[in-house]
Structure 1
Amino acid sequence: MDDQIKQIAERLKGLRDVLELDPEEVAKVCDLPVNQYLKMESGDSDISVSVLQAIARQYNIPLDVLMFGEEPRMNTYYITRQGAGISVERTKAYKYQSLAAGFQGRKMDPFIVTVEPKDNQDIYYNRHEGQEFNMVIEGRMLLDINGKKLTLNPGDSVYFDSNLPHGMLALDRKTLKFLAIII
């Protein structure tokens, strides 16, 4: 996990170097204080998918390049076989498995997200441009969207404005698995 965060951090720094950007410019795109962005870029802090997506959109780079270090190549279709999607564990509690990593020019980013239960019931909030769709596959989810707490069970889904602060927890001390589509 830490190794994956370090690799993403190296790609962020490399991108900034190639584009000759100041840390302040990239931090502004992410709506973060510069010191917080620099912690992410150094690999000392977790990097949320929403931060990566903001950078990818701003600088017209496929999200896959930042997350996985691979350029998408397919443009007609892309199949992800069960359990075979490229994945990254951003933290011990979250694992993102991309379902369309090889398709170039995507209009959305679909993931299977696995969230492990944790003793600490603090919710980590994020927000990002666009909209998001979540459908619970396994376990139960507590989803907080802008202060509104929703409980989702297997088969339940929600579509929401991802500009609003949102975060989730796995309930019942069991692993949560859900489909997330970020548009």
Structure 2
Amino acid sequence: MRGTAAQSGRRRGTDPPGGNAGGLSGHLRFLRYHKEGEISVNENNGAGVNKDIAARIRELREVCDMERIELAETLGLTEAEYARYEDGEKDFPVSFLYELAALFKVDLTELLTGTAPRLANCSIVRKGEGIAVDRYEGYDFESIAYKFIGRRVEPMIVTVGPETENDPPELVSHSGQEFNYVLEGQITVRFGERSFLLNEGDCFYFDPTVPHAQSAAGGKGARFLTVIMP
């Protein structure tokens, strides 16, 4: 690897307004300027959102003077697998975005929206103000703490549909710890070789390195709070 987001020099090209600021903050100011001035994507559907996030990932990689194959190897992917993410052809697993945010030393909000969070003491996200994060088929994530700078956990509201016999949810795994609290309906949690049925008001704290998946039980959709600690 030739550099990290904190070590790389300025990317070749036009400086953002205000001059060439050094360090990571300068890189991020450049990325925001570049996005507003040059990148044009359609954000009216999921594919457009994927393309927008993919463009930010590509810009961060280029700022770090990294080739695709270098970043792919760092993430434990083949170059072809990584290329599908960077080209916006494949939905991003939440764990993939967390790993990139940690690698580039940026906030997850920066990857999702292109805007850095601005509140370091407290933040309020009103009903309906959450950021939609559609990362897994069958799951709708809503980020509800995106305004807070340097947060150590990632709380999200998740809406899931019922599991079908012919299309069970894919098991996923990621680092850290995770907490689920059922807000509405019933949730079936598949955790390794075991399954648990959670009712409204029940909670589940677990090691997410174990492959897991959540789906709604009882033939209808459900909602739960997830808190992920990378």
Same fold by TM (over 0.5)? yes
Paired residues of 2:161 and 2:222 also in contact (CA < 8 A): yes
Letter aligned with residue 36 of structure 1: E
2:93 is aligned with 1:48: yes
Partner of 1:30: 75
Structure 2: gaps spanning 5 or more residues: 1-45
Partner of 2:84: 39
Aligned-pair CA distance for 1:101: 0.3
2:113 is aligned with 1:68: yes
RMSD between superposed Cα atoms in Å: 1.8
Aligned-pair CA distance for 1:73: 0.5
Classify the secondary structure of the residue corresponding to 2:195: strand
Letter aligned with residue 47 of structure 1: F
Structure 1: gaps spanning 5 or more residues: none
Identity %, equivalent residues: 36
- 1:145-182 Cα offsets, whole Å, 9 max, x none, are 22221121111111111122111222233222110101
Aligned-pair CA distance for 1:125: 2.0
Partner of 1:160: 206
Partner of 2:217: 171
Paired residues of 2:138 and 2:169 also in contact (CA < 8 A): no
Q: Call closer, same or farther: CA 1:29–1:168 in 2, change over 3 Å.
A: farther
2:196 is aligned with 1:150: yes
Classify the secondary structure of the residue corresponding to 2:84: helix
Paired residues of 1:121 and 1:169 also in contact (CA < 8 A): no
Q: Distance in 2 between matches of 1:179 and 1:146?
A: 21
Q: Call closer, same or farther: CA 1:26–1:149 in 2, change over 3 Å.
A: farther
Letter aligned with residue 172 of structure 2: N
Among 30, 52, 63, the alignment partner of 1:18 is: 63
Structure 1, 50-59 or 82-91: larger mean CA deviation? 82-91
2:228 is aligned with 1:182: yes
Count, aligned residues: 183
Aligned-pair CA distance for 1:94: 2.1
Normalized per residue, the structure richer in strand is 1
- 1:119-162 Cα offsets, whole Å, 9 max, x none, are 44322122211001011111222211222211211111111111
Structure 1, 111-120 or 47-56: larger mean CA deviation? 111-120
Q: Call closer, same or farther: CA 1:108–1:163 in 2, change over 3 Å.
A: same
**Any residues of structure 2 matched to 1:50-129 within 5 Å, and which?**
50-91=95-136, 93-117=138-162, 119=164, 120-129=166-175
Classify the secondary structure of the residue corresponding to 1:47: coil
Paired residues of 1:54 and 1:128 also in contact (CA < 8 A): no
Could you say which structure has the greater relative contact order, defined with CA pairs below 8 angstroms and 6 or more residues apart?
1
Paired residues of 2:154 and 2:227 also in contact (CA < 8 A): yes
